[in-house]
Amino acid sequence: MGERLKVRIGLGLGTMTQLGTAGRFSAFVDRSESLGFDSLWLSERIGAPAPDPMVALAVAAGRTQRMKLGTSVLVLPGRNPVILAKEMATLDVLSNGRFLPGVGLGAVDSAEQRAFGVQRAERGRRHDEALEIMRRCWTGEPVSFHGEFWSFDDVQVLPRPIQPRLDVWLGGAAPSELRRVGRVGDGWLPSFCTPADVVDGIALIEATARDHGRSMDPQHYGALIAWSDEELPPRMIETIERRRPGTDPRQVVPTRAGLAGRVRDFIDAGASKFIVLPLGQVSDTDRMLGELADDLLPLST
């Protein structure tokens, strides 16, 4: 009999979500905390209206006491890993150990990749090198590193994170991305996927982990589930059909009424950590959050 999964429901604000003003964002954070959601996750896209995740999560950290704070996901190849290690450690300290780093390669968008100053062919290697550097920096000990992209001697990053270990969750669903999770990730947080994708993805991740002498925590599989009560825009449908040929887009982006059932399907597939996020504009955030809490929080265990 395997370990019973601890189901946790978090909230996300996707790259196209706008809350408009500081007051609306603060109200969203306060209401999410008071209702009992497990975590708040912010996505990154330079050319989208969503706020920068590290800045916005720092604001959220100052308004909350309990809710965990995550990035879903931060574009790691475009960052200086030493500086980012300092920023993440600081956020973990100032939130009293509530930070959850999620990182990835970034959107497949040539303009966005140029903005980060990274060649597409380099993204994976930069990602893995940066992740190794950050983990060394979080020990608080002086670090020397000489790799393909970064080289330095005797650099010490303080403060250390409060958490004994910052578990880094990785996104992605392509075979190469799944194998990366198995090699170097602490958890997997895919988006725009189906429960069947999660079943297959976990199998490949765990096989890769075994090949590298590692094991994955069974509690560290999740899913980001976007939902929309409106008709899906053509661009979204095209994206889903490109990523998941032959899949009904509503199997990937359910309505709010179908959201609880979809979470149950993902639980059956082996996932237990969830980020639900609205696509597009949010009008009545208070009502939306209350309805989501009624529908989803009873699934938490």
Over range 100-112, report the average pLDDT.
Answer: 88
Which structure tokens are listed for 62?
């100052």
Number of helical H runs and strand E runs in the chain? 11, 12
Neighbours of 120 (CB within 10 A): 14
What CA–CA distances, in Å, run from 202 to 128, 219, 229, 271?
20, 12, 30, 9
81 found inside a domain: yes
CA distance 240 to 193: 9
CA distance 298 to 268: 16
Q: List all residues 6 or more positions away from 259 whose beta carbon is below 8 Å from its beta carbon.
A: 225, 227, 276, 292, 295, 296
Higher-confidence position of 205 and 233: 205
pLDDT of residue 21: 81
> Model confidence over 113-140: pLDDT tens digits?
888 888 889 999 999 999 999 999 999 9
Amino acid of residue 127 = H
Cβ-contact 103, 76 below 8 angstroms: yes
131 found inside a domain: yes
pLDDT of residue 4: 83
What CA–CA distances, in Å, run from 165 to 68, 71, 194?
15, 16, 30
Question: Lowest mean pLDDT: which of 44-53, 171-180, 223-232?
Answer: 44-53
Neighbours of 139 (CB within 10 A): 13
pLDDT of residue 1: 42
What CA–CA distances, in Å, run from 57 to 46, 64, 228, 241?
16, 10, 24, 32
Residue 2 reports pLDDT greater than 60 = no
Three-state DSSP class for residue 227? strand
Residue with tokens 């590193």: 145
pLDDT of residue 286: 93
Residue 52's region, left for phi above 0, alpha for psi from -120 to 50, else beta, is beta
Residue 158 reports pLDDT greater than 90 = yes
- For the entire predicted model, the pTM comes to 0.95
Residue range of the domain that includes 32:
8-299
Residue 94 reports pLDDT greater than 90 = yes
> Model confidence over 24-41: pLDDT tens digits?
899 999 999 999 999 999
Residue 229 reports pLDDT greater than 50 = yes
Residue 225 reports pLDDT greater than 70 = yes
> Model confidence over 166-198: pLDDT tens digits?
999 999 999 999 999 999 999 999 999 999 999
1 found inside a domain: no
pLDDT of residue 238: 87
Q: What CATH number does the domain containing 278 carry?
A: 3.20.20.30
Of 219, 224, 239, 216, nearest in space to 190 by CA = 224
Which structure tokens are listed for 175?
């075979």
pLDDT of residue 20: 66
Distance of CA 181 to the CA centre of its chain: 13
Strand partners, 104: 75
141 found inside a domain: yes
pLDDT of residue 273: 98
Mode of pairing for the β-strands spanning 151-155 and 143-146 = antiparallel
71 found inside a domain: yes
262 found inside a domain: yes
3 found inside a domain: no
Residue 279 reports pLDDT greater than 90 = no
Give how many domains the chain has, as a whole number: 1
pLDDT of residue 18: 67
Strand partners, 227: 278
Of 199, 190, 259, 265, nearest in space to 222 by CA = 190
176 found inside a domain: yes
CA distance 38 to 207: 30
Strand partners, 13: 42
